[in-house]
């Protein structure tokens, strides 16, 4: 099996390292800027300087791991060449081109997976299991929080040069931390209304929003709130849910999942495995390979990616937006 990577930044390299653990795979890469011969030699990556030449190798799948603003452009070329797709999240910074991509994928019967790896977190899966079991009753309210000081996020990279800092590259806290939008949909269902307050309130040298509070009304009546920021010197990532029969809570950094059962008047708690986040990249890679081999269906589809993007774009309008 041949797999091509377009974009070999930090996330591209992470995926290559995980993919190299599986046998029978030839790794190709297209990179137009920079080089890392030591990395390429270690993982036996064959490098091409342009996409056209790389696609002549007829890869079975293409990993789209370049900046967000270029995702759809590359995905279209790969799909036209008949390659299945792994599109790193978010799928784009705008809806332009996505309908065309959907049509090509459907016509050529291609498989698409979108890299919202947090769905593979043990903690979030446990939280979803609790919700689906009915132990906390009907979900009335969900609150998701994610925040970290941007310069500390990728300590080996100048944050001012990252895509996170640049609007034209698809940066900004809403797109960057759209994991929360995806997993909230996954936990409680589809949203029907969106309103958000977003701003740039810090002295960070970026031209994007650095804080966002997104309010959601779901089709099933649930109310939700998502807080995202580039500001917190102590990182936070957690989710709390209130239901008719109890409540539930997950925290990434404290590695805990707990829920309160009002019928029994007691709390139940669970501890997530060590390195839960790192394991998600291995699990999503295993899943994507199984999708390619026809053993599993994609759990995070192009449609999922589009719905997250629709919420992102609605949030940026600064008014109540009704979703279709």
DSSP-derived 3-state class of residue 140: strand
Higher pLDDT pick, 192 / 318? 192
Dist. CA 236–CA 147, nearest whole Å: 5
Residue 153 binned pLDDT confidence (cut-offs 50, 70, 90): confident
**Once rounded to an integer, what is the mean pLDDT over residues 308-314?**
98
The full set of domain ranges for the chain reads: 2-110, 119-273+301-322
Q: Which region among 129-138, 164-173, 303-312 has the lowest average model confidence (pLDDT)?
A: 164-173
Residue 64 clears pLDDT 70, i.e. is over it: yes
In this prediction, residue 319 carries a pLDDT of 94
Topology at the third CATH level for domain 119-273+301-322: Dihydrodipicolinate Reductase; domain 2 (3.30.360)
DSSP-derived 3-state class of residue 57: coil
Give the sheet arrangement for strand 2-6, strand by strand. 46-48, 26-30, 2-6, 61-64, 84-88, 112-115
Task: Report the chain's C-alpha Rg in angstroms.
Answer: 20
How confident is the prediction for the chain on average, in pLDDT? 95
> Which has the closest alpha carbon to 280: 268, 270, 272?
272
**Consecutive H or E run containing 303:** helix 302-315
Residue 10 binned pLDDT confidence (cut-offs 50, 70, 90): confident
**Consecutive H or E run containing 146:** strand 139-147
> Which has the closest alpha carbon to 255: 237, 272, 279?
272
pLDDT digits (tens, 9 = 90+) for 245-302: 999 999 999 999 999 999 899 999 999 999 999 999 999 999 999 999 999 999 999 9
In this prediction, residue 32 carries a pLDDT of 65
Give the sheet arrangement for strand 211-218, strand by strand. 266-271, 256-261, 246-251, 236-243, 139-147, 223-229, 211-218, 191-199, 321-322
**Once rounded to an integer, what is the mean pLDDT over residues 95-99?**
97
- Residue 46 near residue 29 (C-beta atoms within 8 A): yes
In this prediction, residue 204 carries a pLDDT of 96
Give the 3-state secondary structure percentages of the chain, helix then strand then coil, rounded to 5.
Answer: 35, 25, 35
If one looks up domain 2-110 in CATH, what number appears? 3.40.50.720
User: How far is CA 237 from each of CA 143, 145, 148, rounded to the nearest angstrom?
Assistant: 11, 5, 9
> Which has the closest alpha carbon to 137: 251, 291, 243, 261?
243
Q: What is the pTM of this model?
A: 0.95
> Based on the number of CB atoms within 10 Å of its own CB, is 75 exposed (0-12), middle (13-18) or buried (19 or more)?
buried
Q: Which region among 78-87, 130-139, 156-165 has the lowest average model confidence (pLDDT)?
A: 156-165
Residue 58 binned pLDDT confidence (cut-offs 50, 70, 90): very high
Beta strands in 188-282 (DSSP E): 191-199, 211-218, 223-229, 236-243, 246-251, 256-261, 266-271
- Residue 169 near residue 67 (C-beta atoms within 8 A): yes
pLDDT digits (tens, 9 = 90+) for 34-49: 667 888 888 889 999 8
Q: Which region among 90-99, 162-171, 291-300 has the lowest average model confidence (pLDDT)?
A: 162-171
Residue 324 binned pLDDT confidence (cut-offs 50, 70, 90): confident
Angle CA 297–300–304, to nearest 5: 130
Dump the DSSP string for 166-191: -GGGT-SHHHHTTHHHHHHHHHH--E
Structure tokens, 299: 């759990």
């Amino acid at each position: 099996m041949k797999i091509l990577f377009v974009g070999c930044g930090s996330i591209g390299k992470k995926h290559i390292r995980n993919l190299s653990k599986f046998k029978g795979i030839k790794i190709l890469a297209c990179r137009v800027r920079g080089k890392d011969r030591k990395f390429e030699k270690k993982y036996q990556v064959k490098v091409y300087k342009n996409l056209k030449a790389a696609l002549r190798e007829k890869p079975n799948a293409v990993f789209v791991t370049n900046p967000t603003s270029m995702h759809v452009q590359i995905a279209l070329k790969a799909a036209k060449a008949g390659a299945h797709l792994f599109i790193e999240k978010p799928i784009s910074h705008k809806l332009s081109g996505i309908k065309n991509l959907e049509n090509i994928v459907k016509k050529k019967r291609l498989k698409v997976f979108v890299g919202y790896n947090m769905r593979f977190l043990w903690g979030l899966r446990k939280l979803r299991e609790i919700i689906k079991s009915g132990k906390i009753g009907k979900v009335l309210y969900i609150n998701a929080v994610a925040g970290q000081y941007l310069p500390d996020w990728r300590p080996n990279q100048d944050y001012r040069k990252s895509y996170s800092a640049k609007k034209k590259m698809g940066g900004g806290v809403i797109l960057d931390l759209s994991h929360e939008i995806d997993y909230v949909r996954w936990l409680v269902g589809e949203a029907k209304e969106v309103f958000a307050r977003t701003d740039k309130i810090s002295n960070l040298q970026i031209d994007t929003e650095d804080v966002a509070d997104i309010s959601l009304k779901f089709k099933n009546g649930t109310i939700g709130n998502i807080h995202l920021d580039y500001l917190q010197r102590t990182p936070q990532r957690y989710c709390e849910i209130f239901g008719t029969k109890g409540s539930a809570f997950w925290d990434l950094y404290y590695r805990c999942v707990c829920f309160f059962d009002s019928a029994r008047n007691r709390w139940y708690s669970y501890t997530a495995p060590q390195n839960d986040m790192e394991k998600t990249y291995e699990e999503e890679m295993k899943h994507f390979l199984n999708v390619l081999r026809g053993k599993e269906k994609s759990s995070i589809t192009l449609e999922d990616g589009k719905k997250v993007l629709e919420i992102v774009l609605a949030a940026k309008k600064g008014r109540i937006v009704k979703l279709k």
